Structure 1
Amino acid sequence: MPHVTMPQGLPPGTPGLMMYRPETGRPISQLVEVLMRGPSSLSRSDREMMAAYVSQLNDCAFCVNTHSEISAQQSPDGRALVDKVLADVKSAPLSPKLRALMNIAEAVVVSGKNVTPELVEAARKEGADDTDIHDAVLTSAAFCMFNRYCDGMDAVVPEDPQAYVGMAAMLIREGYSTCADGH
C-alpha cells in the first residue's frame, strides 16, 4: 500500500508515482528517456541492463524486473544475458567496455566518491569516451534515486514476472517521456 493516497487506475511502480505528481514526474521521465533511449555508443539493451543491475544492487524489485525485461526484449541474446549479469556481473559475457562502465555504475551505488581515476582510466582503455563515462555515472545516480523513490513511497509492485512483459513492450514502443502524462 503506497504511503500516499493514489488515484485508482494508475500503473504500478514509478510510472504511477510520476502520474500522481506530473510536475515532478515529467522531468524524471524526460531524464530516463535521454539516458535509456537517447544517442549513445551503448545499445538500448545495454543501458537498460545497467539500470537493472544498479536497481538490483539497491534491492528495488520493480526496477529490476522492469528494466531487465526491457533489456531482454531489446537484446539479440534475450533473457539469457540479462540473467547472467544479474546472477554474477563479474563472469557475465559482457564487452570489456560495458564491463568497465558497469564497474563505474556499481561504484556510484556506494558513493559518487568511489568512482576513482583507476575506474575511469580502465573504462577509457576499453574505448569509453567522456559521454560514456558521464552517462554511466548519471544512469547509476539517477537509478539510485528512482529506486529509493519507488521503494520509499512503497509503490505497488507486481509480483508476477509476466506483469512486466507488456509494460516493457509499451516502454520500448512509446518511450519514457509519456510516463508522467499517462499516455
Structure 2
Amino acid sequence: MAHIDLGVNEKEFPGISGPMQFRPETAKPLNELAEVLLRSPNTLTSGERELIAAYVSGGNECRFCCASHSAFAAAQLDGGIGVVNLVVADPDAAPISAKLRALLRIAAAVREGGRTVTTELVAAARAEGATDIEIHDTVLIAAAFCMYNRYVDGLATFAPEDPEQYAKRAQRIVESGYGA
C-alpha cells in the first residue's frame, strides 16, 4: 500500500501511474521528458534508451521501473527479454555493442552520483563511437530515472509480480508513447 492515498486502485494504476493520476499537473512534464528521452529521433534506438532506463532502475533496485522499462526495451530489441535481463545483471557479459556497454558504464556512474562520471568514461564511450548527443542523453536518462525510481519507491507504490502485466503495457508504450 502506498504511503499516501493516491485516490486510485493501486492494482489498476501500479507504480508511477498512481502518483501521476494523483497529480496530473506533474505527470504531464514527467511524461513529456520520458517521451523526448526515450522515443524522440536519436541515433540510439528507443530500445537502447529503454535499456539504459531499465539498467539504471535495476541498479537502484526499483522493481516497478526496472520491470517496466525491461519490458519496453525487450519489445524493441533483438533478443528480447533474455538480452535485457543479461544487461541488467551484467552488461559486460551481455551481447551488446561496445558503444552501448560504454554508455551503460556512464549511466552506472551517474546512478552513483554525477561527479563519478569521469573524463575516462566519456573518452571510452567516444572511442567506441558515441556522439556528444548520445553521451548527453545517457547522462540525462540515468539522472531522470534516478528521480523516477525515487518517486515510485519513495511513495511505496504497488509493483505487480506478473511479467505479463508489464509486457501488455510495453505494447501500448511502443505504439502510443508516454502520456497516451
Please state if 1:53 is matched with 2:66: no
Per the TM alignment, residue 72 of structure 1 is displaced from its structure 2 partner at its CA by: 0.7
Equivalent residue, structure 2, for 1:3 = 3
Equivalent residue, structure 2, for 1:78 = 80
Equivalent residue, structure 1, for 2:100 = 98
- Residue in structure 1 matching 2:134, options 129, 132, 135: 132
Amino acid at match of 2:143: A
Residue ranges of structure 1 left out of the alignment (5+ in a row): 179-183
Per the TM alignment, residue 76 of structure 1 is displaced from its structure 2 partner at its CA by: 2.0
Equivalent residue, structure 2, for 1:20 = 22
Equivalent residue, structure 2, for 1:170 = 172
TM, length-normalised to structure 1? 0.93
CA distance in 1, matches of 2:171, 2:40: 18
Equivalent residue, structure 2, for 1:181 = none
CA distance in 1, matches of 2:41, 2:142: 17
Equivalent residue, structure 2, for 1:118 = 120
Q: How many residues in Structure 1 have an aligned counterpart in Structure 2?
A: 178
CA distance in 1, matches of 2:169, 2:78: 19
* Residue range with higher mean Cα deviation, 147-156 or 2-11: 2-11
* Residue range with higher mean Cα deviation, 11-20 or 53-62: 11-20
- Percent identity between matched residues is 48
Amino acid at match of 1:116: T
Partner of 1:90: helix, strand, or coil? helix
Give RMSD over aligned pairs. 1.1
CA distance in 1, matches of 2:140, 2:8: 33
CA distance in 2, matches of 1:157, 1:87: 20
Partner of 2:43: helix, strand, or coil? coil
Equivalent residue, structure 2, for 1:41 = 43
TM, length-normalised to structure 2? 0.95
CA distance in 1, matches of 2:89, 2:109: 18
CA distance in 1, matches of 2:168, 2:51: 18
Which structure has more relative contact order (CA 8 Å, sep 6+)? It is 1
CA distance in 2, matches of 1:85, 1:117: 23
Residue ranges of structure 2 left out of the alignment (5+ in a row): none
* Residue range with higher mean Cα deviation, 138-147 or 155-164: 155-164
CA distance in 2, matches of 1:162, 1:19: 22
